Amino acid sequence: MKDENIYLALVTILAPLSIAAIGGATGIYAPLQHETVELRQWMTSREFIDLFAVSRLAPGPGSMLAPIIGWNVAGFSGALLATVALYLPSSVLCYGAARVWNRYRGKPWHRAIEAGLSPVAAGLIFSGILGLLRLGQTGPLSWFTVVLVAGLLMWRPKLHPLILIGCGALVFFLLHVVGA
């Protein structure tokens, strides 16, 4: 490996991805792997896949893979820098858009855009669910769980989702134990 500044490298990899990644959090996986494994050889392919798996154990956005890579190559400051580099540009952009958007609240055309965008949001949510279910090696059990959880939450809106997450983990684990 060349004697390069690892902090600078983290920023130059992640800051552009913040805005340019296509498809949200899942869009950063492939370019991150290309940069860290193939181009800079900070880690092996195996290590990258392990880090990816570990990042999904933690709560929060799927893009938390970035701080874990920063941690791996440059410790705590690397993790912090990676987080700022990945989230700051997109956050500033979104803040600007939200500010402009909320400034015109109450105008008739603003109400029309709000009402017109809501069904588009609904369509995007269902597309996201379908995409994620197709992406994984998920079986019918996952499909069934999605429907069951959605139904339970519609029926009992006060039910805390952490209870369901715990139950889901337990049921999938037990089915693994009995070999289903």
> Using the rule CB under 8 A, is 167 a contact of another protein?
yes
Evaluate whether 71 touches 79 at the Cβ level (below 8 Å).
Answer: yes
> Using the rule CB under 8 A, is 177 a contact of another protein?
yes
Question: Taking CB under 8 A as the criterion, which residues in 47-86 touch another protein?
Answer: 50-51, 53-64, 67-68, 71-72, 76, 79-80, 83, 86
Evaluate whether 69 touches 81 at the Cβ level (below 8 Å).
Answer: no
Here's the x/- map for another protein, 13-52, by CB under 8 A: it reads as ----xxxxxxxxx-xx---------------------xx-
Choice between 7 and 71, CB closer to another protein: 71
Tokens encoding 125: 């949510």
C-alpha span between 131 and 110 (Å, rounded)? 31
> Using the rule CB under 8 A, is 131 a contact of another protein?
yes
In the 8-state DSSP scheme, what is residue 25?
G
> Using the rule CB under 8 A, is 87 a contact of another protein?
yes
Judged by CB under 8 A, the stretch of 2-10, 32-40, 161-169 that binds another protein is 161-169
Question: Taking CB under 8 A as the criterion, which residues in 136-155 touch another protein?
Answer: 136, 138, 141-142, 145-150, 152-154
Nearest to 29 by CA among 73, 86, 80: 86
What separation in angstroms does the CA of 127 have from each of 17, 26, 31, 35, 153? Answer: 23, 14, 23, 29, 20
Question: Taking CB under 8 A as the criterion, which residues in 101-130 touch another protein?
Answer: 101-103, 105-106, 108-109, 111-130
> What is the number of other CB atoms lying within 10 angstroms of the CB of residue 170?
10
